[in-house]
Amino acid sequence: MDTQFLVIGSGMAGLSCAIKLAEEGAQVAVVTKKYLADSNTNKAQGGIAAVLGSADSFDAHLEDTIRAGGGLCDQEAVRLLVERGPAAIKDLTDFGVRFSKNLEGDLDLGREGGHSHRRVAHAKDLTGAKIEQALIERVKSLKLISIFENHMAVELVSSRELGDQGKERIVGAYVMDTVSGKIEPFRATAVILATGGAGKVYLYTSNPDIASGDGVALAFRAGAQIANMEFFQFHPTCLYHPDAKSFLVSEAVRGEGARLKLADGTDFMKNYHELGSLAPRDVVARAIDMEMKKSGDDCVFLDTTMVDANLFPERFPAIHQACLRFGFDPTRQMIPVVPAAHYMCGGVHVDTGAQTSLPGLFAVGECAHTGVHGANRLASNSLLDAVVFAGFAAEAATKWGATQPLPGSGPPIPPWDPGGAVDADEQVVISHMWNEIRELMWNYVGIVRTDKRLARARRRMELIRHEIDEYYWDFVVTPDLLELRNLAECARLIIECAIARKESRGLHYNADHPKTDDEKFGKATIARRGPEGGYIFGG
């Protein structure tokens, strides 16, 4: 397969980038390991933040973002993000997204934690699904976009692997057809990673099963810089029920007046932050974790009874129906909630053009570290990040492509070599290691960390990594094995970055180093692959 641009991932970032490239006349291949609609975007409830109200301003949005980011935001990137916000909403509207409006016909703007103004555009509580649907319809209408569903990237391919002694660049990827198991090379002028997050690295997560950190692992193995993996955001309010599978209760519910309480009705968030239940997510998640440990309770409660009983099912239809399905009436009862892994604030390190440290490789969306989220993402900035930086990536990739040979003119990528691999005789080994990683990460590298917990996690992950490596080279590659390998790589990166940051800031809280140290740690944690699979920290 030869194409100008290879986009790996079909969420909001990947599809937005593919659309912009195709509209400029480029040939694009979109690879997605399930179906187009299977993405983190499709699960997003709250909305997309942008300066859309007359009382709001770019400066206010910028200040809110930087304050939430704990001093690690890239101010230039944040400025670009917020100033492109209104245009991004227009782009989505042009694609066919219908945002909710009030009785006056204006956008019905919500407010979420950490925001000083109402600025969250939404489609009730189905924003992500509505955006994804509109983008898919647009993608399917563009003849220059080829779609490869049930295909998964195995490894990136660099020019050096093809014998080119010039400056190294990424020239494609090996891609598996997950139905047949066949692996074939895709050559491209540029590769854009848009694979989403890595929430499945934790035992409890709001993410879908596909969130195994594929893009970060692919880029790291290829030699790209990875940044700030220690900052993993835990959403404070996931529905606590054995059958709910961490169903998310959007922060927008708190924006409409709901409050976090203990079982006896105590509003505990007043003791932790002046914004109470609308404090930034890192503060709220730690407060819930602390209260649960103090009381021994399995959850806390979100009191939604003060939200207008007529408004709730209209504004939050999906949440309302889910609560009723699991036996709770949110207009009359408090909802049991717990924190769960939600968003990866680190990722593949990129500049404001979404370019990684490897020429020819770009990254957008949750798998990318643009610098806009710092140590803690401001609520509803993620969808904005995805669409804004997808536009920047399309521009930068187009410029890069203009300087490169036409697709198909370079040396061919050799066929995939399975070596002496044989079919695995026990798939249970994969599921066992998967569960072991997720429990280890939840227990030792969760909301609150210590030096001892991190050291224990490092030792255990080193053993697991060796087992996975042996398994990978001995047996025929399968989609489950690829996800396990990628998940383990992300787990190791989170652990190593957390060990390197001996302070507490934003989403990284180490009880042995509770203070923030700007002098030593007031910058991003940059890591890349070292000799024999080790780590090199720094630029």
Is residue 373 within 8 Å of residue 383, measured between CB atoms? no
* Three-state SS sequence of 233-292: EEEEEEECCCCCCCCECCCHHHHCCCEEECCCCCCHHHHCCCCHHHCCHHHHHHHHHHHH
CA 144/CA 24 separation, integer angstroms: 10
- Enumerate the H helices of 69-105 as residue ranges: 75-83, 85-95
E strands of 318-392, at which residues?
335-344, 347-349, 361-363, 368-369
- Which residue bears the tokens 């709910």? 244
Amino acid letter, residue 8 = I
- Residue among 349, 353, 311, 305 at smallest CA distance from 331: 305
DSSP code at position 397: H
* Three-state SS sequence of 121-162: ECCCCCHHHHHHHHHHHHHHHCCCEEEEECEEEEEEEEHHHH
Tell me if residue 438 is catalytic.
no
DSSP code at position 199: G
Say if strands 170-177 and 183-193 run parallel, antiparallel, or are unpaired: antiparallel
Rounded to 5 degrees, φ, ψ at 254 are -70, -30
Using CA atoms, how far residue 437 sits from 345, 396, 434, 478, 535, in Å, is 20, 37, 5, 19, 20
Among 79, 281, 505, 528, the one annotated catalytic? 281
Active site residues: 281
